[in-house]
């Protein structure tokens, strides 16, 4: 089975529970979002981070999906997940948002 990595493993933000930056920046909401557990074969929201408000990208805490979409589609983790999942989960997510 292929090892599919969560965002904090790729981006090395350190905001996951027990991470090096958790105390300074807080726990990343993607790392504890249980509703997204299993989405795109990830742990909690680790492979669905673009849909979760409050994640950190390039050292900046991001807002909602609508506000951070441009940053997300340029992200190497986002592109990797889309490639690995063949876009199916993303299409379902976008449809649920009416996009």
Sequence-distant (6+) residues with CB within 8 A of 20 are 14
Model confidence over 2-35: pLDDT tens digits?
A: 689 999 999 999 999 999 999 999 999 999 999 9
Nearest to 36 by CA among 50, 22, 15: 50
Model confidence over 52-86: pLDDT tens digits?
A: 999 988 888 888 888 888 889 899 999 999 888 87
pTM of the complete model? 0.79
């Amino acid at each position: 089975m292929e090892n599919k990595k969560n965002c904090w493993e790729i981006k090395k933000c350190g905001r996951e529970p027990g991470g090096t930056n958790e105390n300074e920046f807080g726990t990343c909401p993607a790392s504890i979002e249980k509703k997204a557990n299993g989405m795109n074969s990830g742990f909690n929201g680790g492979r669905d981070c673009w849909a979760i408000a409050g994640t950190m990208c390039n050292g900046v805490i991001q807002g909602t999906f609508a506000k951070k979409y441009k940053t997300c589609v340029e992200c190497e983790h986002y592109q990797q997940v889309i490639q690995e999942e063949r876009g199916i989960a993303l299409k379902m997510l976008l449809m649920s948002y009416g996009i």
